[in-house]
Amino acid sequence: MAKSDMLGESLWDAYSDKVTSLMNNPQHQGELFQDEVDKRGNKLIVADFGAESCGDAVRLYWEIDPKSDIIVNSKFKSFGCGTAIASSDVMTDLCIGKTVQEAVKITNIDVEMALRDDPDTPAVPPQKMHCSVMAYDVIKKAAGMYMGVDAESFEEEIIVCECARVSLNTIKEVIKLNDLTTVEQITDYTKAGGFCKSCIKPGGHEDREYYLVDILSDTRKEMDQEKMKAAADAGADGDFAKKTLVQQIKAVDAIIDESIRQFLIMDGGDMEIIDIKTNDEYIDIYIRYLGACNGCASSSTGTLYAIESTLREKLSGNIRVLPI
């Protein structure tokens, strides 16, 4: 079929050569039959899955060696668009030679990556990524049928982005670990929201329980509450001078985050703790100014006084702050 008969020129160019080839010439399309599988002493599994968002459906056939749980052959039948056919074909190919337990670990990203012509160029336009979401779901259903368990038992976490198989816990951990502040940063770090985009905010091609905008907002609130608690604990939890170096740095960071950093950032600057050294008279905290604070006249007068006064009030009267 000519590309002009199927899609506009610009959209067609967004598909990889592998996708366009497999649309018209899938390698694993077909059926497996019970009597033939029985003759080989293997077990036949037939699983169906349909995507409500687009009306596509796929039927997956597995021929499994019951002695090893290895999928020795696999076929598919797809009822849907060309992208669904291509992704189902690659999904089927990825299953062959794996055990059922290994096949369950195949993700939609694995399918999409296998459809790429090169590692850095997406195989399909973002709005068609949902067509490969069926891959994981139908594999999960087939594995559940073979193992005699509910397909949902393979899902240990809440999945926010079906395209990239990114969980709620993973997104929250990445936000906290890397201090992320935008949805674009979440996508850069996790790939969540980078394909069909339905998980970014309400109004996509399908409704979802969790959206990245809400997760980001809620997680940032949790982070602020944790910082406030850490700051309160740092001031009330024993003698600062007797804490370990790691405990001291965490306590100082918590106070800085709570009372100082926001004002530095407003002026285009920031600061970081370099070291803490304790002697008989002082607890010396060595800091480095960043951004606009580096070289600012106030960094050695008013700003320095404010930082030192805050740390003395909340942690120890013996603190001395030394910029380097």
The residues annotated as belonging to the active site are 54, 131
Q: Per the structure block, which two tokens stand in for 259? A: 């009372």
Q: How many angstroms separate the CA atoms of 77 and 92, rounded?
A: 10
Q: How many angstroms separate the CA atoms of 265 and 268, rounded?
A: 5
Half-sphere exposure of 23 (CA within 13 A, CB side): 18
Contact at 8 Å (CB) between 117 and 16? yes
State the DSSP code for 207. Answer: -
Name the one residue in this structure whose structure tokens are 């997104």: 171
Helix boundaries (H) for the chain:
3-6, 9-12, 17-24, 34-39, 82-95, 100-103, 108-114, 133-147, 168-178, 183-190, 212-236, 245-259, 261-266, 302-314
